[in-house]
Amino acid sequence: MRKNSKIRFAALAVACALIVTALPAALADDGNIVAFDGEGIVDTTETEYLAIAAGHPGDSISIYVPVENVGESTATDMTCEIPVSGNPDEFPFVNDSETDTSFTAKAYQKVDSSTSTLESWGGDELLDGEHAYFKLDITILASATSGYKTLTFNVNYTYDGASCTDTVEVTLYVRPVESSSSSGSSSYKSKPKVIVESYEFTSDTIYAGDTVTLRLVIANTSWREAITNLTLELSDESGAVMPAPGGSSTIYIGTIAKEQVYVFSVDLQIAPDAEAKSQLLTITMDYEGTKNKQEFEQTASINVPVTQHARVRINDPVVYDDPWVGSSVSIGVTLYNLGKSPLYNCLVDLEDNDNLTLEESYFGGNVAAGGTMRADLTVTPLTAGEVTGNLLVTYEDAYGNQTEELLPLDLFVNDSATAVSYVSGSNAAYTEDEAQSGGATWYWWVLGGAAVTAGLIALGVHSRKKRERELEDL
């Protein structure tokens, strides 16, 4: 008995030891190192590190990886690398070595918590709540396609004695080749022109009431001089598009070197009652040239395609007639538009079915917000018994995006061979597989018998009255 107790105690001790050993690794599973989002920045130099890296194919660029320690202990011995990949969207960079499996970013700078200023950093440690930056100098492939690329960096570190690895994603923007101006141009540009080179929304569909992220690429097209004190003002006269809560309609960028771009993101709030159409967001850009400090202003417009959520209710199909094989039956469907925008090209059809045929699909056209569409269909069953199918209801939003909904249709179809018909003008009945001529002969016999009976009754009445008159004359 005492031996078993010792065994149980030893097993418990081993289990506790394993738990204690695995605890740091278990804590690390949640991720202690994440991408720093820029909240609370006080040093304006940091905004350059947080800007989205950009360049043309073939350009040498610097990519900054912002990291933050969200754990409760200090992360030490930190390194950052990006794996080499044959996928040009994941790794659009030049790799002259066939043996390198990753590119290492150098530990760059972090914020001195006492002075709130940037200081050199070797990656030796990052206290809980601190953030820092890694820097990777690299060359974009000459064959890289334009657009945004998501780069995944591995951040390796030691945390509470355990080796950990977290991933941090950074966005790269590859500029279109045709947008690069020639530095050898002989034309004189007295005014450095700033433009919105490109933009995109991170959401495929923008619904009223949503908060969406807009990516902007602001380009200095001048090959002669840089621009400075660049400020953007966002406005929408309709009030449908506005800065997200906590954001501002005024954005300060600062300096853009000649023929360079500044790429950044801004969060926008769409009004819940915004009309489902393309809303116009105006961007006013105020800046100065670095040569003569003259002030300039440019405006650009961005279309924000707003969509209202479709709120549609469709009642179950209603069968108005008793279904028979080969006979048409009327079916009704009612659609209610409960949303705040119209539905377009509403159509009700029968999904392909070997047991049912549809005389004609129902086209309801457009259904206004708060409106109703009632579709009447004529369907013919081809087989008897339990017949199932689906009615297909389709409609579109203002941008032509189509939605399909299937409505189950269940019919119990009677066999025409067992149908009972009634002879007009009588209670006589015959089944459809009986000859109707036989029914007609019986009908005439009944009429004839009734006529003879009526004649006999009339003759009897006449004879009785005649006999009564003869007795009166006596």
Higher pLDDT, 9 or 382: 382
The mean pLDDT value for 383-408 works out to: 92
Residue 336 has pLDDT above 70, yes or no: yes
Model confidence pLDDT, tens digit, residues 443-453: 566 666 666 66
State what percent of residues in the chain have pLDDT above 90: 61
Higher pLDDT, 6 or 453: 453
Q: What is the pLDDT of residue 8?
A: 53
Residue 339 CB neighbour total at 10 angstroms: 18
Average pLDDT over all residues of the chain: 83
Q: What is the pLDDT of residue 15?
A: 46
Return the bridge partners of 209, or none: none
Higher pLDDT, 426 or 404: 404
For the record, the structure tokens of 340 come out as: 């705040």
Q: What is the pLDDT of residue 368?
A: 94
Model confidence pLDDT, tens digit, residues 79-118: 999 999 989 999 999 998 878 899 999 999 998 777 778 8
Question: What's the CA angle centered on 386, arms 381 and 387, to 5 degrees?
Answer: 40
pLDDT band at 123 (very low <50, low <70, confident <90, very high): very high
Cβ(105)–Cβ(80) under 8 Å?
yes
* Model pTM score: 0.66
Q: What is the pLDDT of residue 353?
A: 87
pLDDT band at 47 (very low <50, low <70, confident <90, very high): confident
Q: Residue 372 is which amino acid? A: T
Please tell me the distance from the alpha carbon of residue 3 to that of residue 369, in angstroms, as a whole number: 80
80 exposure class (CB count in 10 Å sphere: 0-12, 13-18, 19+):
buried
Q: What is the pLDDT of residue 196?
A: 93
The mean pLDDT value for 264-289 works out to: 93
